[in-house]
Structure 1
Amino acid sequence: MAKYILFGSYCENAIEKRTPYRQAHLDGLAKQKEEGILITLGPTKDNSKVFGIYEADNEAIVKNLIESDPYWQNGIWTDYEVKEWIQAF
């Protein structure tokens, strides 16, 4: 399977705005982790960007997971880019 990286942005005041969606977001990430698709995901310290690493059969699977996430659907994540990644080390 290929590895993919996610780079994305958060909305203004994301910490406050995410509150109603946070548990559903975390539950979805835990499921992806259990299934072996999500390797890691998290915000930058200033909470302006999100970074993630996925392992999946194709990019469409990763994009579907992102676009199904409550943070994307409710405007907490405002944009994203997915790139296939070659892990050198």
Structure 2
Amino acid sequence: MAKYVLTGTYCPDVLEKRAPYREAHLGRLAGLKAAGKVITIGPTRDLTRVFGVYETDSEAEARELIESDPYWQHQIWTSYELFEWIQAF
């Protein structure tokens, strides 16, 4: 499996706007982590960017996992880029 690094942006007023979707978002991520699909994910301290590492069979699968997240579907994450990552150690 390949690893993919996610970098993205949050919407303005993220704390208020994410509230209705936060439980579903975190529950989904916990399931993906348990399945080995998400290594780590989280916001920058200033809540402007998100970073994560996914481990999937393909870039298409990583994109599907990102785009099916409640935060993407409800525009809490407003943009993202995905890069295949070679973990040196």
TM-score by length of 2: 0.98
Distance 2:17 2:54 in 1: 25
User: Structure 1 residue 65 and structure 2 residue 65: aligned?
Assistant: yes
Distance 1:33 1:7 in 2: 18
Distance 1:62 1:2 in 2: 10
Unaligned 5+ segments in structure 1 are: none
Distance 2:43 2:22 in 1: 13
Q: What do the CA deviations read for 1:13-68 (whole angstroms, capped 9, x no partner)?
A: 00110000000000110010010010000000000000000111101111001100
> CA-atom RMSD, angstroms?
0.5
User: Structure 1 residue 4 and structure 2 residue 4: aligned?
Assistant: yes
TM-score by length of 1: 0.98
In structure 1, give the amino acid aligned to 2:38. L
SS at match of 1:64: helix
Q: Who is 2:38 aligned against?
A: 38
Would you say how many aligned residue pairs link Structure 1 and Structure 2?
A: 89
CA-CA distance at 1:88 after TM superposition: 1.2
- Report sequence identity in percent: 62
Question: 4+ residue runs of structure 1 moved beyond 3 angstroms?
Answer: none
